[in-house]
Amino acid sequence: MVGSVRLPGLRHPAPPDHMPSREAVNLVLICTLAVLALHVTHVPLWMVLAASCLILWRYLIDNLGWRSPGSLVRMLLAIAMMVMVYKHYQSLLGRDPGVAMLFGLTGLKALELRRLRDYLLTVFLLYFLTVAAFLYSQSLWVGGYAFLVVALTTLCLVQLNQPLGAPWTRCLRLAGGLLVKSIPLMCILYLLFPRIQGSLWGVPIDAYGVIGLSDRVQMGSVHGLIANDRVAFRVEFDGEPPANRDLYWRALVLEDTDGRVWTRRSDLDDDPVPETIRERGREINYSVTLEPHNQRWLVALELPTVTPAMARRRAGYIVEANRKIRNRFRYRVQSHLDYRTGPLSRDQRFWGLHMAKAPTPRMQQLVNDWRAVAKTQAELVQLGFNYFREEPFFYTLSPGDIGNNPVDEFLFETRRGYCEYFATSFVTLMRMADVPSRLVVGYQGGEWNPAGNYMVIREFDAHAWAEVWLPGRGWQRVDPTAAVAPERVELGFSVLSRMAQNGHAFGVLDVDAARAAAQSNWWQRGVRETGFYFDFLNNAWNQLILDYDVDQQREWLRTLGIRTPAWVVLTGTLVLVVVLLFLLMAVVMLRPRPDRDPVVAGYRRFCAKLAPLGLERASYEGPWDFARRVARARPDLDGEVRRITSTYVNVRYRNRFAALPVLRRQIRQFRPTRSGGA
């Protein structure tokens, strides 16, 4: 007996520690590998190798009789690990070094699994590492795998506390039963545990990176997004979704430029004069679920007319969240696709005509030609648009390099590019022609998911287009890309990439031919359709589990009637509900269960009939002893009791199951009277 597991400082009988079995080592090692697999993507490779070697070493110690390292060796290994981690991360604190260090320690701990204490500490460490994996990925797959790992670790814990040689099925049933029975309590805790708004300590910068659209655009900058099929946001429409060509998801307006890079206006005031919109046509209501991008911009169809909650309007008809989007953010917006905007302010006119450097002579010549022909600004814009349609411009996803004067080179030499090439050139030309204009970036199109009836917009749907201000109409969208490759706007980027897969050029075919050119074979179609269901599952997972935060909790509590979710109220409710649920479980789990064996149950009924006569069977009394005692006390019952006992003993101990109906009938007909000798 080595110590005992009782709480320190309290004297009460407690089970002594026991030595875990040999199988426990193997199970813990398997479990450790399963948990470490969750971390291989972000822990440095040398650490993965080191931990695997340590686990292998332990396995060899047990199975091939290798020597077990002493405590000095283990200590040195731990120090070496710490130094390596420090050299790699320049710190021991924070998420990444912390997880890497725990990763290594888990491997090291495998070497010194000896007493029950070591095993249990390892198991707790494994639980912690499993949960820490969610700091890196919260996908459905990681969640599902982590659940399996938790189940396996729990099996470990149960097995460690079972006697030697306990059957596996029993451990499995116990661990499974425990987990399943914990689920209601888990739900209560999850829903009611008070969530907080801020962070406890500074979240390290490494936790989030800027993802998605950038507020700096130059020719070629969107290129990184084109290869990225990460979901940018999902949209559920109230009613029919608009046609693909109308799906311009506005995110940022870029007005400032140095000739190469387009950025937002630096003097943008926080509280602009409300810009007027005169909306026409039907409104479109929809909910957007935006994936975290660590920036503030929100997307909305052009133009948003109702600002979402927790967000505000910024100049340029864009909406911005009140804080950086670091968790999936769901909001409702209203937009009007048909609109007129109000007059141009001085400020807007200045920025709408801002030029960084003097245009080259051939650009000036081009614009001068248009100005000579056009009578109105609208005609000028049309001429500019036609230029892109009629001249040999090509839509391609792999344009060549471009030099120092990008607009000039693109317009007259390379003529190959995609949306931002066309949009930035177009805006530059319009500004030279004194038409106020600006660059808008966002997403265009989207893929309809028929499995979940929502639209998925991915990073490769990123798009840039131009906006010009025309007297009497206000800001109007002009998308020069549509002039070059109409299928990009009509059918969306995913169709475009399928066309590219099938070896078709862009901008050559009309829309129907392009759609036909994007036809994929049954295998690709099957993959795509399965993808819809996966994304639907993922979306459900996101909305049900991942996005549950302060706001959702508040909303949910409101439906329960708790209107002031103060911390104290919430905690009180939580404790109350947990206690009630626990009592309910206690009643269900601890109630005596009726015997399922019909033979035993029958005999119990027989004994119950005798009990009121003062003839209670003692638990140590065999059936025949009891029968003899009954016969002594009540000779009148002797025959019947003897018969029933004989049948019972035959069925129960001599396996004469055929006599079970007889036993039942005999017991049913047995009606002892209260007074003897009747």
**Residue of 356, 589, 608, 611 that binds another protein (CB under 8 A):** 589
**Residue of 26, 52, 162, 287 that binds another protein (CB under 8 A):** 162
Residue with Cβ nearer another protein (415 or 629): 629
Kindly determine how many residues on this chain lie close enough to bind another protein according to the rule CB under 8 A. Answer: 84
Q: Is 5 in the site for another protein (CB under 8 A)?
A: yes
Q: Cα(292)–Cα(323) distance, rounded to whole angstroms?
A: 11
Q: Is 618 in the site for another protein (CB under 8 A)?
A: yes
Instruction: Return the residue matching tokens 């909306």.
Output: 279
**Residue of 211, 353, 546, 660 that binds another protein (CB under 8 A):** 546
Amino acid present at 238: D
Q: Is 560 in the site for another protein (CB under 8 A)?
A: no
Instruction: Return the residue matching tokens 């509280």.
Output: 271
Closest approach of another protein to the CB of residue 571, in Å: 14
Q: In Å, how far are 366, 429, 525, 648 from 434, measured between CA atoms? A: 14, 9, 49, 107
Q: Is 629 in the site for another protein (CB under 8 A)?
A: yes
**Burial (CB count <10 Å: 0-12, 13-18, 19+), residue 480:** buried
Q: Is 178 in the site for another protein (CB under 8 A)?
A: yes
- Count other Cβ atoms within 10 Å, centred on residue 461: 23
Residue with Cβ nearer another protein (140 or 374): 140
Segment 455-484, which members bind another protein (CB under 8 A)?
none
Largest Cα–Cα separation, the chain = 132
Q: Cα(328)–Cα(289) distance, rounded to whole angstroms?
A: 7
Q: Is 533 in the site for another protein (CB under 8 A)?
A: no
Q: Cα(411)–Cα(549) distance, rounded to whole angstroms?
A: 50
Q: Is 287 in the site for another protein (CB under 8 A)?
A: no
Q: Is 150 in the site for another protein (CB under 8 A)?
A: yes
Q: Cα(260)–Cα(404) distance, rounded to whole angstroms?
A: 8
Where b means 16+ CB within 10 Å and e means fewer, 409-446 reads: bbbeebbbbbbbbbbbbbbbbbbbbebbbbbbbbbbbb
- Nearest to 121, CA basis, from 109, 135, 103, 131: 109
Mask of contacts with another protein, 103-142, x by CB under 8 A?
Answer: -------------xx--xx--xx-xx-xxx-xx--x----
Q: Is 567 in the site for another protein (CB under 8 A)?
A: no
H-helix or E-strand containing 633? helix 623-633
Q: Cα(629)–Cα(607) distance, rounded to whole angstroms?
A: 13
**Residue of 41, 63, 91, 182 that binds another protein (CB under 8 A):** 182
Residue with Cβ nearer another protein (515 or 628): 628
Segment 289-348, which members bind another protein (CB under 8 A)?
326-327
Stretch that binds another protein, among 9-17, 299-307, 312-320, 443-451 (CB under 8 A): 9-17
Helix then strand count (H, E) for the chain reads 24, 19
Q: Are 464 and 424 in contact (CB under 8 A)?
A: yes
Strand partners, 470: 474
Q: Cα(401)–Cα(143) distance, rounded to whole angstroms?
A: 43
Backbone angles phi, psi at 530, to 5 degrees: -60, -40
Q: Is 161 in the site for another protein (CB under 8 A)?
A: yes
DSSP 291: P
**Residue of 59, 350, 394, 548 that binds another protein (CB under 8 A):** 548
Q: Is 84 in the site for another protein (CB under 8 A)?
A: no
Closest approach of another protein to the CB of residue 464, in Å: 32
Residue with Cβ nearer another protein (215 or 621): 621
Q: Is 631 in the site for another protein (CB under 8 A)?
A: no
Q: Is 77 in the site for another protein (CB under 8 A)?
A: no
At residue 464, the 3 state secondary structure works out as strand
Q: Characterize the bridge pairing of strands 262-263 and 256-257.
A: antiparallel
Q: Is 586 in the site for another protein (CB under 8 A)?
A: yes
- Which are the contacts of 595, defined by CB distance < 8 A and separation ≥ 6? 601, 604
Stretch that binds another protein, among 277-285, 424-432, 605-613, 618-626 (CB under 8 A): 618-626
Stretch that binds another protein, among 250-258, 373-381, 441-449, 592-600 (CB under 8 A): 592-600
Closest approach of another protein to the CB of residue 135, in Å: 6
Residue with Cβ nearer another protein (246 or 551): 551
- Count other Cβ atoms within 10 Å, centred on residue 503: 7
**Residue of 595, 598, 611, 653 that binds another protein (CB under 8 A):** 595
Q: Characterize the bridge pairing of strands 394-395 and 416-417.
A: parallel
**Residue of 67, 346, 632, 671 that binds another protein (CB under 8 A):** 632
Segment 189-228, which members bind another protein (CB under 8 A)?
189-190, 193, 195-196, 199-201, 203, 207
Closest approach of another protein to the CB of residue 123, in Å: 9
Q: Is 607 in the site for another protein (CB under 8 A)?
A: no
Closest approach of another protein to the CB of residue 188, in Å: 8
